[in-house]
Amino acid sequence: MTDNQNIKSRFGIIGNSSALNHAIQVAVQVAATDMTVLITGESGTGKESFSKIIHQLSPRKHNNFIAINCGAIPEGTIDSELFGHEKGSFTGASEGRKGYFEETNGGSIFLDEIGEMPLGTQARLLRVLENGEFIRVGSSKVQKTNVRVVAATNVDLMKAVERGKFRQDLYFRLNTVPIFIPPLRERGNDILLLFRKFASDLAEKNFAKPINLDEDAKKLLLKFRFPGNIRQLKNIASQISVLEVDNKDITAEVMMKYLPQNQMNMLPMVLGESRDEGLSEREGILFKAMFDVKKDIAELKKLVLSILQGETSGKTIIQQNKHLFTNVEEDIFTPTNSYSTPSFSNTSNNSNNGNNNAQSSSLLLNAAQSEKEENEDFEYIKVEDISHSVMDEDTFSLEKQEKEMIVKALKKNSNKRKNAAQDLGISERTLYRKIKQYGLEE
């Protein structure tokens, strides 16, 4: 069996995460067959590299290989591009031409962004996969081809099937052997290996000394979520290498200047569930509202206890209502408590902003973990759960709490909506929508 390290060296793949190694091993094992492969993963994770592994390690390696981005071909011409057309079949068809399936006969074809393929073209592709047959546009002659198809997508095809955007029979035909490419944020120290490789390559190209990251900069880089995956990491490494010409030792403060601030507080999805942008941001506001309410209640209990302790009749009341004052001190929110109240502070520099964002992320995650430990039936955090835990009386409403948090953030930031949105952990666009919804326009 081919060694993974040799495969990585040959195809320029860097990393040692277990998920990455598993994906490579599956690609190596399926390469020797003629099975159709579906590669899934976020944009920028390197799906095309795996299609090349499959082709180069297969018996078809000496025949043609072509990579097609289905999302980049207009709907009106994709059939012609893939299956060819006859002369005069449409306006501008001055002569006949072969399609990609005809050109790559005996080889392999990589269909990237397969989820963007029109439904009519999907039906034609299904016929190729089932029978190896296709018909040129404008022709009635059935032709044969022997092509190995490797497809890739960054969307959930099953959801596309449910929405009627993708054929179910084609999905199951493509998904003979699935390969999942993990996102960069789930690959741990691979992030540092890739960063060093990109920085070294750029330094060698420009005859310069490569940049080095200190320990704090490395930790910051590992915490970043990289929605753009490897492409985004390469861009960041390139920016720092080119712009920090007089400073080759990169600190966390310098690194903060190159990490997009609006992406610093992007939280992981609970149990991998897909969440609406509006729903996730709304939950963030409601979490903060919940902590404020709980803090106010704890402070009130402490105040009442201190007053009653100073009166003779008060001590009797305390004895009669012990359950109300149990562990009062433990209910008070302190900075070291995992249920700390989120603070709305105006940051003066990028470094402070990054730290506050990181604290905000830690706050919500710690809260989720604490609730999980207290409730064995915990599956995922829902807005409904928050509403039940925060609003014990009908006089409280989620909308009221959300509105109050928005007003508080706007006042704290002198009505600067961009800063207020950052403090709330939501996008500026969503804040505008909420301001309009609650009639808070100036």
- Does residue 79 belong to any structural domain of this protein? yes
The pLDDT-based confidence of 268 (bands split at 50, 70, 90) is: very low
Q: How far is CA 257 from CA 197, 244, 355, in A?
A: 21, 11, 13
The pLDDT-based confidence of 417 (bands split at 50, 70, 90) is: confident
CATH number for 208? 1.10.8.60
**Are residues 288 and 193 part of one domain?**
no
**Are residues 281 and 245 part of one domain?**
no
**Are residues 289 and 163 part of one domain?**
no
**Concatenated DSSP letters for 7-39?**
HHHHHT-----HHHHHHHHHHHHHHTS---EEE
- The mean per-residue pLDDT over the stretch 140-155 comes to 96
Tens of pLDDT, residues 8-44: 999 999 999 999 999 999 999 999 999 999 999 999 9
CB 408 within 8 A of CB 398: no
Query: Is the per-residue pLDDT at 272 higher than 80?
Result: no
Query: Is the per-residue pLDDT at 82 higher than 90?
Result: yes
Query: Is the per-residue pLDDT at 117 higher than 50?
Result: yes
**Are residues 175 and 205 part of one domain?**
no
Q: What are phi and psi of 169, to 5 degrees?
A: -65, -35
**Are residues 167 and 104 part of one domain?**
yes
Interacting residues of 418 by C-beta distance below 8 A, sequence separation 6+: 428
Query: What percent of the chain lies above the pLDDT cut of 90?
Result: 53
Query: Is the per-residue pLDDT at 66 higher than 90?
Result: yes
Domain total in the chain? 3
Domain containing 63 equals 4-182
Residue scoring higher pLDDT (359 or 244): 244
Query: Is the per-residue pLDDT at 361 higher than 50?
Result: no
Residue type (1 letter), 304: V
Taken as a whole, the chain contains a residue count of: 442
**Are residues 294 and 174 part of one domain?**
no
Closest by CA position to 119, among listed 80, 86, 168: 168
pTM for the predicted model, two decimal places? 0.60
Query: What percent of the chain lies above the pLDDT cut of 70?
Result: 71
Tens of pLDDT, residues 216-250: 999 999 999 999 999 999 999 999 999 987 888 99
Question: Is the Cα torsion angle 150, 154, 159, 161 positive or negative in sign?
Answer: negative
Which value, in Å, is the radius of gyration of the alpha carbons in the chain? 29
The pLDDT-based confidence of 322 (bands split at 50, 70, 90) is: low
Q: Let me know how many helices (H) and strands (E) the chain has, helices first.
A: 20, 9
- Tell me, what's the pLDDT at 393? 45
**Are residues 108 and 43 part of one domain?**
yes
Tens of pLDDT, residues 276-318: 444 445 555 666 667 667 767 777 777 677 676 666 666 667 6
Report DSSP state, residue 2: -
- Does residue 282 belong to any structural domain of this protein? yes
- Tell me, what's the pLDDT at 368? 45
**Are residues 213 and 314 part of one domain?**
no
CATH number for 143? 3.40.50.300
Final residue in a domain of this structure, among 231, 259, 287: 259
**Are residues 386 and 337 part of one domain?**
yes
- Tell me, what's the pLDDT at 308? 67
Q: What are phi and psi of 318, to 5 degrees?
A: -65, -45
- Tell me, what's the pLDDT at 220? 94
Q: What are phi and psi of 293, to 5 degrees?
A: -65, -45
